Structure 1
């Protein structure tokens, strides 16, 4: 019911309670109740006596047919059966992990959700995203070798997401080690890689991607770091179906190349778009804080920092990176 109501309101025009009730097969009182629920979820719905209800801004409801249409010939023939779009979930990563747990071979299964109750970012942080307004996507892929085979994968995936954003029209997006996409130093997208497997393989990876397409004012107050969304950058409503198609296409291409050649093809493009390349940074590691200059990444995707006396390589999960000024 809620998803259908959002779909009717998605054009940004006024719709009377009577009209919506007829379309949904419910009473005007029930429409009012559902509108109230949408407001509680974070959608900006305006109510005007005599005119009805309208969203503050139009939005694009996720639609599998439109995503596949945008992908065109680049869409695998069976992607329709490997692409899940759901209205609400605790976590797209968790949903996908459970869905593919009994599947023998997994190479590109996707889940997109309109809202997450327990979306997670790096270091256990909550991922804040206004419902029906952002891109929350997870992808599952199985590699034949052990976990060591996927070293650097989160960085390669970051390259894919940056390329997708650039193709949509977001210029000057940069990468922050190990798994963020920035614009003008503010967070635009984040990635989270979860690895499952034995030492001898195979290894299954669940990749979570969150892109800020549009964050409303209330949700903005819950974000504890500098951020930006695509609506602010481009000055227009974001077609999330086109965005999803671009992200999926670039991720499929990236994971296929990574399966065949590893991280090597992605080291140079990642480093060329690293926001902190050559800069002085502060590294927060546990209770300690260190200062150094970023010298790039090594063949495994480790971050190389030049300190006063020596160069040290850091790996994902070990540190938090900040500008030194």
Structure 2
């Protein structure tokens, strides 16, 4: 059932301004609630214009995710856990939400938390990640592995390969991968992957995989990611499909990648990752444990470690989590 906030967004128009009274009639909410929700949406970054203090309109058409349509699209994409998908209007972090469910005793294998807005989305190195509400792909999925945590090297790379190939296929955008967990497009960050891994008492490992992809962001210049950013709409060959369709395609691809990783580790995805590697053949500077390295990007090895071909002919390998890679100017 749609929340009051979602019903309000559905009532807002891009072609004309609506008053408190008109929005109240359309949503069957009182004007005080309308005012409170509009203030929240404005603070969260919904692209909206005010005319005076009483009339509001959207900068562009926005469509909240329809849960029924999403489930239908997930089933078409052969995502095996379609009916376990949870769509939230707003949350602190989809990964934190799933972790709370897990620690509360729920089996969240295959369960997906999808949100229209997250107030405390987490990126790599503790950076905050948040985009305008109702505009992006923001989700996390839980997955149980028979492998131990020490056997999970390269997991974020395999997930990245699945997502990048999926996005290229459905949009034609030249999506690449920046080791170890960023989606990249035309020298700008398109999205990211964050994997929380934990050992299970009964053996094996459990992952909560967070994914954020900029689909259509009206405030790109305001993103605080520490690097240039872009969105999929700016790079696609045609108009984007609905968010439900994109989410379903991505999740279907990820589920296949996770099953393959369980059986074969990163090795089947190594060549595919290296074909998408935005650092390949380029001069790269790395910092690992405070030790500077510089060389030419040579892709990931069979364990997912990044390789640098140094000037003296040696090949240095760096491990995910211990490194910051950047192009040499």
Q: Normalized against structure 1, the TM-score is what?
A: 0.90
Pairing 1:50-129 to 2, within 5 Å after superposition: 52-76=55-79, 78-80=81-83, 82-101=84-103, 106-129=108-131
Are the counterparts in 2 of residues 282 and 292 from structure 1 also a CA contact under 8 Å?
A: yes
Rounded Cα–Cα distance in structure 2 between residues aligned with 1:159 and 1:125:
23
Could you list the runs of 4 or more consecutive aligned residues of structure 1 that deviate by over 4 angstroms after TM superposition? 10-14, 102-106, 235-238
Rounded Cα–Cα distance in structure 2 between residues aligned with 1:271 and 1:287:
26
Report the alpha carbon displacement of residue 126 of structure 1 after superposing the two structures with TM. Answer: 1.1
Distance 1:322 1:45, change over 3 A: same
Rounded Cα–Cα distance in structure 1 between residues aligned with 2:209 and 2:81:
20
Distance 1:100 1:67, change over 3 A: same
Are the counterparts in 1 of residues 173 and 232 from structure 2 also a CA contact under 8 Å?
A: no
Distance 1:78 1:139, change over 3 A: closer
RMSD of Structure 2 on Structure 1 (CA): 2.5
Aligned: 1:301 with 2:304 = yes
Which residue in 1 is equivalent to 2:38?
Answer: 35
Pairing 1:135-146 to 2, within 5 Å after superposition: 135-146=137-148
Are the counterparts in 2 of residues 59 and 238 from structure 1 also a CA contact under 8 Å?
A: no
Residues 193-213 of structure 1 deviation map (CA, whole Å, 9 limit, x = unaligned): 110005983200011000011
Which residue in 2 is equivalent to 1:182?
Answer: 184
Aligned: 1:249 with 2:289 = no
Q: Secondary structure at the match of 1:60?
A: coil
Distance 1:41 1:301, change over 3 A: same
Pairing 1:158-237 to 2, within 5 Å after superposition: 158-197=160-199, 201-217=203-219, 220-234=222-236, 236=239
Distance 1:69 1:240, change over 3 A: same
Residues 145-191 of structure 1 deviation map (CA, whole Å, 9 limit, x = unaligned): 21123211100000111122113314211111000111111000100
Rounded Cα–Cα distance in structure 2 between residues aligned with 1:304 and 1:218:
32
Q: Which ranges in structure 1 are unaligned for 5 or more consecutive residues?
A: none
Report the alpha carbon displacement of residue 286 of structure 1 after superposing the two structures with TM. Answer: 4.6
Q: Normalized against structure 2, the TM-score is what?
A: 0.89
Residues 261-299 of structure 1 deviation map (CA, whole Å, 9 limit, x = unaligned): 221211111111111112110112354432111222111
Q: Secondary structure at the match of 2:142?
A: strand
Distance 1:65 1:324, change over 3 A: same
Count of aligned positions: 324
Report the alpha carbon displacement of residue 127 of structure 1 after superposing the two structures with TM. Answer: 1.0
Aligned: 1:282 with 2:282 = no
Rounded Cα–Cα distance in structure 1 between residues aligned with 2:256 and 2:17:
42
Are the counterparts in 2 of residues 282 and 321 from structure 1 also a CA contact under 8 Å?
A: yes
